[in-house]
Amino acid sequence: MREAMKNAEVGDDVFQEDPTVNQLEELAAKKAGKEAALFVPSGTMGNLIAVLTHCQRGDEVILEIDSHLYYYEVGSISAVAGVIPRLITGDKGIPDPQGIKMALRDENIHYPKTTLICLENTHNRAGGTITPPEVIEEICRLAHQRNIQVHLDGARIFNAAIALNIEPALLVKNVDSVMFCLSKGLSAPVGSILAGPKEFIQRARKNRKMLGGGMRQAGILAAAGIIALEQMMERLKEDHKNARILGEGLAHISGIKVDLETVQTNMVYLDLQESSMDTYQFLPKLAKYNILGSPRPPTKVRLVTHYGISEEDIYATVRAIKEIFS
């Protein structure tokens, strides 16, 4: 990736004159089975651009209660896009289509207009769980019957596709737009993609500029994204295998609880509730072994497998946590 970045042919992407960015966007659109794509600096910006492009101020957006868009994006859909979140509860992050149907209200002068449903696949806070394609299809059918658009936060959609052994385009074929990250498991240093119909991406490009996401010689970043899409998908299997070994190893340690049903891709959530430690007592002890986890207070910790983490690293992690608890 660094070699490709050094040698990247560049131009001005704000004027769509960067050949490497153009190549990345064409490749990304093809991978997603969509008409067009837009390179954005981050997944958070990609999601916000999607909401801005689909919605008007005062509209209502339906979200799963623990979704990244609601939980981790600084309230941007309300603060910047001016839309109102309506939350529903999912099962391990997977929304029930009937629950969404019940949340859809009839036209009434008192209610905001529901214009968008946002899904997440894989689901971060649920532990990297996968929403099955048939569930996405049912939600999209329900939404489109009511003239409501569906956006998919597919930050790790390639993890879901690899785990299901299907093409990513099949997972997103029914949604109106999708964002996916080139970083995370695909290992690029910077960047995400927003994909959808050509007319939607044209409007999204203007919203990207409004948010400060219009980049100039961005081909030096896009070059890494091309390698991410062309060469880094299959290696996600290794991350999934390592996460499973890690989850099963931790599940046998007294004081730790792991829901192995949620270990479907590259995340492991461990719960310390049955131990004498909370999240912020445990993480510094783990860091002494040069192992970093993400806090999910008060008693949970997220561990993520990725490029550069070997199977031996997984066994070393299990040994380290056993020592902490001994």
Q: Which domains does the chain have, with CATH numbers?
A: 2-231 (3.40.640.10), 236-325 (3.90.1150.10)
Asked whether 29 and 23 are in contact (CB, 8 A), the reply is no
Tokens of 309: 């983490």
Predicted pLDDT of residue 171: 97
Give the mean pLDDT per block of 10 residues along the chain (326 residues). Answer: 98 98 98 98 98 98 98 98 97 96 94 98 98 98 98 98 97 98 97 98 98 97 98 98 98 96 98 95 98 97 97 98 95
Distance set, CA 204 to CA 19, 50, 119, 274 (Å):
20, 7, 19, 47
CB-based contact 262:240 (threshold 8 Å): no
Task: Give me 145's structure tokens.
Answer: 């019957």
